[in-house]
């Protein structure tokens, strides 16, 4: 496990990667369906 | 009767079989087709968002080169890949556990006491689970590709932004003509190192620019955030030279720097001239003509008594024969700051090429000041009346000809790769308070009376501009001799500073 300073530093970037991945995974089928 | 019951039950069981098997297969297919990608996303959430204490350790760790700055790696310069690898491993474990749970359930339904009822569900479930798992693997692989692509694209974007910011900062420094020079080791500093501003930390970061430790800001190992660029205000932190490690108290990087070397034979009056120029700057500062301040504590310590030394008319202490540290003075002209480095080396350092080569700051200068004591020129001394010779004998330096120091410095500056054709040279004849001012032009006087024709011609040929001054580094009351302000104005004008004749009323 990484140290607390790194955990704190990476929190927002990890959230960003998770949210971006989830958004793409949801959006791609929706856009495919709509088109 | 029994036969009828058997046939009825057989038909009923057949009906159950026909219904249960496909229903179990469809349900298992749906559960595993959706469950596999969900198990992957759950693993992703565990690694990226929740990070529970029982989460397994990542198998990889980003590696740092030896001697790297004591800072936390930027996420997209290693840790993102570690997380991606970790997330894939955790998700893979989740998916495998999910499939094993299904296999156990299917096996249990076949081998249980109610196997007659359970085996159609088990068989159907197994068939559906197999198909669902295969479909789930395809969807999960798609999710993993999206995740890895997101990491890859984000890392590429972040690195591109870092590169752009680094280039933009360098371009701004170039446009503003900011070339930083270390006052101690004379190296051209591409970017200062900075000390962590955290209380009690003091970790030293040699290169804070955008890169593996942060784009707009970096985080020291102590947790303190630091700006990465002068554009973002890194100049507010304590700087140090990345080459010699000494403190750069004048906070370089925000103002163009002027390197002003004094050279000439020993006893020519270089130090006294420097003190008088500093005193003139102090006067201008007091009169509101040109705001100026000492740039660091060493300069303050050495030069704060310049006015008193000149006013007392005491002889200036002999300059130590060692590599000089620059005196740093911050000037504010037209609301723009400039940093003036004045290098005063002992004359002995200009007598041999080995010693002069050590003065590497000479190659960074665009303006030079050669100080010549007319009394040290034998042909001029011999022309003086005997009475005047007796009077001035104690003040005359025994240094070799001023041409030696000039030629030596000239050769070494050229050897260092400096472009003399774009540099300016002030040839300053000192002692204007002791000898009569020349009637003719100073260059002509130096050629005809002092016999320094070779020096004058060489200076005029090799430098973009050679100007001649006759100065007296003395004070009358609290006023410095006017020749000093003439010289200082010429020096500053070449660097875009033109102090007004009078201060604000």
CB contact under 8 A, B154 and A10: no
Report the alpha-carbon distance of residue B357 to residue B369 in Å, rounded: 18
Chain B residues inside the 8 Å CB shell of A25: 37, 41, 142-143, 146
Q: Are B87 and B44 in contact (CB under 8 A)?
A: yes
C-alpha torsion B284→B287→B292→B298, nearest 10: 80
Report the alpha-carbon distance of residue B78 to residue B128 in Å, rounded: 40
Chain A residues inside the 8 Å CB shell of B151: 17
| pLDDT of res. B394 | 78
Mean pLDDT is lowest, of B208-222, B338-352, B429-443, B480-494, for B429-443
- Token output for B351: 């007598």
Distance from CA of residue B134 to its chain's centroid?
A: 54
Closest alpha carbon within chain A to B154: A17
pLDDT class of B113 with cuts at 50, 70, 90: low
**Ranges assigned E (strand) in B133-240:** 180-181, 188-189, 193-195, 204-205, 217-219, 225-227, 239-240
Q: Compute the average pLDDT of residues B114-133.
A: 81
Q: Residue B468 forms beta bridges with which residues?
A: B427
Chain A residues inside the 8 Å CB shell of B75: 9-10, 13-14
Mean pLDDT is lowest, of B94-98, B139-143, B397-401, B448-452, for B397-401
CB contact under 8 A, A17 and B57: no
Determine what percent of chain B is predicted with pLDDT higher than 70.
Answer: 98
DSSP per residue, B223-235: S-EEE-SGGGTGG
- Token output for B208: 């804070």
Closest alpha carbon within chain A to B37: A25
More reliable by pLDDT, B239 or B177: B239
CA B125 vs CA B32, B111, B186: distances in Å? 10, 14, 79
* Angstroms from A19 CA to nearest CA on chain B: 10
Q: Is the pLDDT of residue B162 over 50?
A: yes
Q: Are B62 and B82 in contact (CB under 8 A)?
A: yes
Percent helix, strand and coil across chain A, each to the nearest 5: 90, 0, 10
Burial of residue B462, with CB atoms counted within 10 A of its CB: 0-12 exposed, 13-18 middle, 19 or more buried: middle
Instruction: Read off the pLDDT of residues B32-57 as tens digits, 9 standing for 90 and up.
Output: 889 888 989 999 999 999 888 888 88
Q: Compute the average pLDDT of residues B486-495.
A: 94
Percent helix, strand and coil across chain B, each to the nearest 5: 50, 15, 35
Of B41, B48, B55, the CB nearest to A14: B48
Q: Compute the average pLDDT of residues B220-231.
A: 88
Chain A residues inside the 8 Å CB shell of B225: none
| pLDDT of res. B150 | 94
Angle between helices B115-175 and A4-34 (to 10 degrees): 110
Instruction: State pTM to two decimals.
Output: 0.80
Helix (H, G, I), strand (E, B) or coil at B331: strand
Residue B389 neighbours by CB distance under 10 Å: 14
Q: Compute the average pLDDT of residues B242-249.
A: 93
CA B183 vs CA A10, B99, B256, B299, B359: distances in Å? 39, 69, 14, 10, 11
| pLDDT of res. A2 | 54
Q: Is the pLDDT of residue B503 over 70?
A: no
| pLDDT of res. B436 | 79
Q: Is the pLDDT of residue B489 over 90?
A: yes
| pLDDT of res. B3 | 83
| pLDDT of res. B275 | 94
Q: Are B464 and B365 in contact (CB under 8 A)?
A: no
Instruction: Read off the pLDDT of residues B338-389 as tens digits, 9 standing for 90 and up.
Output: 999 999 999 888 888 888 889 999 999 999 999 998 888 888 888 888 888 8
Of A9, A10, A24, the CB nearest to B150: A24
Report angle CA B298, B304, B305 to the nearest 5 degrees.
125
Mean pLDDT is lowest, of B201-205, B251-255, B392-396, B464-468, for B392-396
| pLDDT of res. B266 | 85
Of A7, A9, A24, the CB nearest to B146: A24
* Angstroms from A31 CA to nearest CA on chain B: 15
CA B25 vs CA B18, B110, B421: distances in Å? 11, 14, 89
Buried b (16+ CB within 10 A) or exposed e, B352-387: eeebbeebebbbbbbbbbbbbbbbbbeebbeebeee
- This complex has an ipTM of 0.92
* Angstroms from B150 CA to nearest CA on chain A: 6
What is the radius of gyration, based on Cα positions, of chain B?
40
Q: Compute the average pLDDT of residues B234-238.
A: 87
Instruction: Read off the pLDDT of residues A1-35 as tens digits, 9 standing for 90 and up.
Output: 456 788 888 999 999 999 999 999 999 889 988 88
| pLDDT of res. A1 | 47
Instruction: Read off the pLDDT of residues B271-307 as tens digits, 9 standing for 90 and up.
Output: 999 999 999 999 999 999 999 999 999 999 999 888 8
CB contact under 8 A, B57 and A1: yes
Which of B298, B317, B200 is CA-nearest to residue B250? B298
């Amino acid at each position: 496990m990484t140290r607390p300073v790194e955990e704190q530093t990476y929190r927002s970037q990890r959230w960003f990667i998770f949210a971006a991945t989830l958004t793409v995974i949801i959006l791609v089928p929706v856009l495919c369906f709509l088109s | 009767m029994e036969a009828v019951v058997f046939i009825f039950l057989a038909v009923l069981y057949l009906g159950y079989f026909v219904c249960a098997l496909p229903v179990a297969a469809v349900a298992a297919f749906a559960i595993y087709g959706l469950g596999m990608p969900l198990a992957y996303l759950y693993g992703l959430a565990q690694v990226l968002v929740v990070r529970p204490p029982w989460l397994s350790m990542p198998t990889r760790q980003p590696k740092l080169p030896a001697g790297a700055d004591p800072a936390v790696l930027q996420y997209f310069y290693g840790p993102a890949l570690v997380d991606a690898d970790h997330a894939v491993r955790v998700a893979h474990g989740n998916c495998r556990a999910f499939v094993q749970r299904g296999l156990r359930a299917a096996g249990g339904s076949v081998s249980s006491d109610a196997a007659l009822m359970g085996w159609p569900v088990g068989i159907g479930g197994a068939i559906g689970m197999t198909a669902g798992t295969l479909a789930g693997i395809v969807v999960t692989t798609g999710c993993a590709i999206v995740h890895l692509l997101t990491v890859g694209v984000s890392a590429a974007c972040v690195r591109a932004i870092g590169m752009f910011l680094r280039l933009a900062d360098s371009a701004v420094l170039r446009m503003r003509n900011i070339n930083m020079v270390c006052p101690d080791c004379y190296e051209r500093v591409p970017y200062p190192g900075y000390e962590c501003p955290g209380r009690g930390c003091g970790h030293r970061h040699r290169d804070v620019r955008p890169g593996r430790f942060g784009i707009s800001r970096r985080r020291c190992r102590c947790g303190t955030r630091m700006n990465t660029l002068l554009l973002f205000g890194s100049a507010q932190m304590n700087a140090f030279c990345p080459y010699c490690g000494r403190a750069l108290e004048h906070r370089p990087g925000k103002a163009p720097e002027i390197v002003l070397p004094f050279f000439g034979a020993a006893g020519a009056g270089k130090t006294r001239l420097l003190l008088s120029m500093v005193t003139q700057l102090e006067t201008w500062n007091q009169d509101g003509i040109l705001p100026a301040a000492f740039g660091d504590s060493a300069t303050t310590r050495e030069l704060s008594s310049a006015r008193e030394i000149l006013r007392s008319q005491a002889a200036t202490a002999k300059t130590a024969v060692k590599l000089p540290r620059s005196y740093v003075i911050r000037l504010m002209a037209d609301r723009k700051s400039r940093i003036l480095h004045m290098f005063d080396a002992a004359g002995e350092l200009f007598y041999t090429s080995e010693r002069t080569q050590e003065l590497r700051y000479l190659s960074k200068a665009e303006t030079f000041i050669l100080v010549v004591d007319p009394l040290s020129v034998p042909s001029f001394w011999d022309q003086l009346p005997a009475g005047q010779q007796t009077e001035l004998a104690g003040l005359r330096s025994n240094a070799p000809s001023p041409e030696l120091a000039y030629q030596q410095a000239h050769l070494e500056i050229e050897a260092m790769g400096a472009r003399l054709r774009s540099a300016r040279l002030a040839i300053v004849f000192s002692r204007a308070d002791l000898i009569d001012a020349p009637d003719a032009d100073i260059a002509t006087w130096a050629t005809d009376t002092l016999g320094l024709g070779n020096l004058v011609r060489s200076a005029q040929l090799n430098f973009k501009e050679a100007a001649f001054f006759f100065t007296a580094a003395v004070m009358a009351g609290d006023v410095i001799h006017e020749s000093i302000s003439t010289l200082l104005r010429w020096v500053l004008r070449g660097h875009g500073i033109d102090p007004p004749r009078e201060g604000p009323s």
